Amino acid sequence: MKEHNVSAYSLEGKVVFFATRNFHKFNEARHVLAEFKIATAMLSVEAIEIQNDSIENIAKASATDAFKKTGLPLIVEDDGLFIEALNGFPGPYSSYVYKTLGTKGILKLMEKIEKRDASFHSVVAFCSPKLNPKTFHGEIGGEITTQERGDHGFGFDPIFKPSNNSYCKTFAEMNTQRKNKFSHRAKALRGFAKWYKSVW
């Protein structure tokens, strides 16, 4: 078996491996899981990312592939930005669209659109030797801003303002702790953590 780069944050209690090469995601996850006294170890493994209309299917496939490559029980996370005026675009293709169009490309598409409702969806998939991928979901509604705002976060964070925050800030204008109070990813991770603590 190949060696994999593992970066761990130690706490008393359980440890969860997170297969990702995105340190921003890992950093958010370790803060959320720490709430449940679960330590997080970052597994830098390149898992397959299939093209599919379902974020859940993408996450399941990635978790299965990462588990086959490492032999370790682990989680992966996949998410997407769904914009109502664009019929849910970019949705499950958010990662590719961010790499090709970026935030400026999305703002260009939204230039003359007044109704700017959008939502972020996240799926965390857990895979182990004794369990097929089990998934946990998180969602947050909000809107697309008219310009990029903030220096924190990553991806589409500078143009997404969650609807249930009294600060009227984008994700990129929030630090990790504040973003984790609202985010789709944090919700999915908390669902996973509660289940994991109860059965593992």
Token pair belonging to 50? 């299939």
Tens of pLDDT along the chain (200 residues) come to: 344 554 444 334 578 999 999 999 999 999 999 999 999 999 999 888 888 999 999 999 999 999 999 999 999 999 999 999 999 999 999 999 999 999 999 999 999 999 999 999 999 999 998 888 999 999 999 999 999 999 998 999 999 999 976 678 999 999 999 999 989 999 999 999 999 999 87
Tell me the CATH number of domain 5-199, given options 3.90.950.10, 3.40.309.10, 1.20.58.1030, 3.10.580.10. 3.90.950.10
Phi, psi at 113, each rounded to 5°: -100, 125
Instruction: Return the axis-axis angle of helices 184-199 and 23-34, rounded to nearest 10°.
Output: 50
Instruction: Give the Cα separation of 200 and 197 in Å (integer).
Output: 6
Looking at residue 157, its pLDDT comes to 97
Query: Would you list the domain boundaries of the chain?
Result: 5-199
**78 is a catalytic site residue:** yes
| Amino acid code (one letter) for 32 | V
* Global pTM value: 0.90
Pick the catalytic residue from 65, 78, 79, 157.
Answer: 78
Looking at residue 132, its pLDDT comes to 84
3-37 burial: b if 16+ Cβ within 10 Å, else e: ebeeeebeeeeeebbbbbebeebbebbbbbbeebe
Among 184, 200, 192, 198, CA closest to 130 = 200
